[in-house]
Amino acid sequence: MNVDKRLLHEAKAVRTGFMVTITLGFLGGVATVLQARYVSDIINDAFLEHATLAWLQPLFISLLLVIGSRALFIWGSAIAANRVAGAVKQSLRERLLTHIVALGPTYASRERTGELSNTIVEGIEALDAYFNQYLPQLAWAALVPLTVLFFVLPRDPLSGVVLFLTAPIIPVFMVLIGKLADNLTKKQWHSLSRMSAHFLDVLQGLTTLKILGRSREQIATIAAISERFRQTTLGVLRVAFLSALVLELVATISTAVIAVEVGLRLLYGHMVFREAFFVLLLAPEFYLPLRMLGTRFHAGMSGVAAAKRIFAVLETPLPATTAVPIGTLPPSRLDIRFHDVYFAYEEGERPALRGVSLHIPARKKVALVGPTGAGKSSIAHLLLRFIEPDQGEISVNGVPLASLPADVWRQQVAWVPQRPYLFHDSVAANIRIGRPTASREAVLRAAQLAHVHEFVASLPAGYDTIIGEQGSRFSGGQDQRIALARAFLKNAPLLILDEATSNLDPENEALLQEATLSLMAGRSVLIIAHRLSTVYQADKIIVIAGGRVVETGRHAELSRQGGLYQRLVTAYGGSN
């Protein structure tokens, strides 16, 4: 059967609702048997015993009560199943989002955004039919036929034996067809994920595609991917229709066998009409749960295919930390040291840092320079706890950084990346991300310090202006100044600047350099420099090459040494 142990574990978390679903479905099966009993009694007494209406009245009342009860049981079972599926989906979606956030941007950058989005949305929704239909039907397919056998065997052992022998045929065919459909269902899910990922890539890169004149080619590519998804889906549907045909055929033939053997015995007087009619009414109901299981088997396969990707994400291990009291971390004086730190991407296949040891003294400005790919960004990501060292240790005031809760540590860090991300929200909300409880006055003050206040104030809705996804309505320099305003508002003791002024015109750059110097005062600062003119006044310059620290000193000292730093200064002339 198409059962995933991890999904069964999820069902245990809502076992009460699940048991209610199963119980109500089982009671609906019992009501079906009673309904057949009363119908056979009424037909027998009315046409063969010539009973009066007064005699039949209690039977009619009982029949109506049973029919009403059966309807209520089925309705209640459907409601309970919907709630179980909803609870499981909500729990999994929250855990999946929480886990992806905990894994951090380094993990997300290795995955396709559209594929992850498809997993979180469509993947979770694919589990609805699994918990709402397939798992309950799996239990009913065992309980209801056994209930029918319990009532049939004492009254007609021969029919009971026929039912018992023919019942396994349906699950056998279902499993055989399921093996054929399993690969098709996996291909369908992979095709859907690929289509979602590619479509999002095209939307996000539409500007580039238009500029390069390649947008229309993507229409053909998306059409080809959609066609593959359509063909895969049709393949799954063909197997589903085939299985439905086979299961209906088996159930129909089995019911016909029951009808023939019951009819022959009735014809030759070896069976009374009441019991024969009772068995004939129950025969289709005996096979119905098994047929429904076959129909919902494909929904279960879709859920299992989606669950494999969901649990692959959930089972991705998080960096292990051992929390210590926050009192060990002074809020305004951070002394940071790297001790022989190694790190490699892609499970060790792509080394980034090879034994880095460096010191960021408390309340000092340290600049990190080096050629592209030297490891500068990896050092910043280690400090931000997006990644963890493979070897070595990072300490803050003598305390291992890995022992501090990541969310607590990040409260001590303000980060201004080279390409900041702005959300589809108001300007005020984007600035307030670093400090959600900040007052309006504090937001305005941070914007003034970042020299973005006059621009925002000139907008029609001021600070309530919607920025647009990824800051699409603002220029790169405006985006960066809003990111700087975030840092001013957060007022953290450690400041990481990833070339915060790279997208500004000379006039605004001069103003922002002054504001940035003010922001640096009294803080530990790490400047990741892409333009050497921004690091001349740093207290310490650390030169990285090939994942190693090759030079350390101030600008004048390093310039006299004639090493890599001097070659970089000569090559770039202190500017881009």
Residue 377 has pLDDT above 50, yes or no: yes
- Domain positions in the chain are 85-314, 327-572
> How far is C-alpha 548 from the chain's CA centre?
37
Both tokens assigned to 193 = 């994920």
Q: Where does the pLDDT of residue 71 fall: very low under 50, low under 70, confident under 90, or very high at 90 and above?
A: very high
Structural Rg of the chain based on CA atoms: 35
* 494 beta partners: 413, 524
Superfamily for domain range 327-572: P-loop containing nucleotide triphosphate hydrolases (3.40.50.300)
Read off the pLDDT band of 576 (50, 70, 90): very low
Strands 391-396 and 413-416, sheet pairing: unpaired
| Per-residue pLDDT at 346 exceeds 70 | yes
The DSSP symbol for 401 reads: G
Dist CA 328 CA 396 (whole Å): 9
3-state secondary structure of 168: coil
Question: What ranges in 268-351 are assigned the alpha helix state H?
Answer: 273-314
Count other Cβ atoms within 10 Å, centred on residue 386.
20
Contacts of 267 (CB under 8 A, 6+ apart): none
- State how far the Cα of 65 lies from the Cα of 432, in Å rounded to an integer: 62
Are 539 and 366 in contact by the 8 Å Cβ rule? The answer is yes
Q: Which residues pair with 466 in a beta bridge?
A: 426
Q: Is 235 exposed, middle or buried (0-12, 13-18, 19+ CB in 10 A)?
A: middle
Calculate helix-pair angle for 273-314, 135-155, nearest 10 degrees. 160
Is-contact 343 352, C-beta < 8 A? yes
- The helix/strand/coil state of 302 is helix
Question: Above 80 in pLDDT, residue 92?
Answer: yes
Q: Are the CB atoms for 306 and 53 separated by under 8 Å?
A: no
485 bridge partner residues: none
What span, in angstroms and rounded, lies between the C-alpha atoms of 406 and 174? 49
For domain 85-314, the CATH superfamily is: ABC transporter type 1, transmembrane domain (1.20.1560.10)
Copy the structure tokens of residue 217. 């080619």
Question: Tens digit of pLDDT for each residue in 490-504?
Answer: 888 999 988 655 555
Percent pLDDT > 70 in the chain is: 86
Averaged over 241-254, what is the pLDDT? Answer: 80
Distance (Å, rounded) from C-alpha 3 to C-alpha 9?
Answer: 11
- For the segment 366-374, the average pLDDT, to the nearest whole number, is 88
- Mean pLDDT across 78-99: 90
Stronger pLDDT, 353 or 190, i.e. the higher one: 353
Residue 412 main-chain phi, psi, to 5 deg: -90, 0
Say how far apart CA 181 and CA 62 lie, in whole Å.
45
The bridge status of strand 350-360 relative to strand 336-345 is antiparallel
Structure tokens at 23: 């119980």
Beta bridge partners of 509: none
Amino acid identity at 381: H
Number of C-beta neighbours around residue 395 at 10 A: 15
Name the band, by pLDDT with cuts 50, 70 and 90, for residue 575. very low
- Which band of pLDDT confidence, cut at 50, 70 and 90, is reported for residue 542? very high
For residue 377, what are its two tokens?
A: 């960004």
Q: How many CB atoms lie within 10 A of CB 299?
A: 20
If you ran DSSP here, which 8-state letter would residue 474 be given? S
Tell me the pLDDT tens digit for each residue of 439-468.
Answer: 999 999 998 888 888 888 888 888 998 887
The residue that leads in pLDDT, 338 or 115, is 338
- For residue 444, the tally of other CB atoms under 10 A from its CB is 18
Which has more pLDDT, 148 or 198?
A: 148
pLDDT mean over 283-294 = 85
Compute the C-alpha angle 447/383/547, nearest 5°: 120
**Confidence check: pLDDT of 301 > 90:** no
> Band of the pLDDT at 573, cuts 50, 70, 90?
low
Backbone angles phi and psi of 285, in degrees to 5 = -70, -30
Q: Do 538 and 367 form a contact (C-beta atoms < 8 A)?
A: yes
Give 91-128 as a 3 state SS string. HHHHHHHHHHHHHCHHHHHHCCHHHHHHHHHHHHHHHH
- pLDDT score of 37 more than 70: yes
542, two tokens = 């650390």
pLDDT number for residue 62 = 93
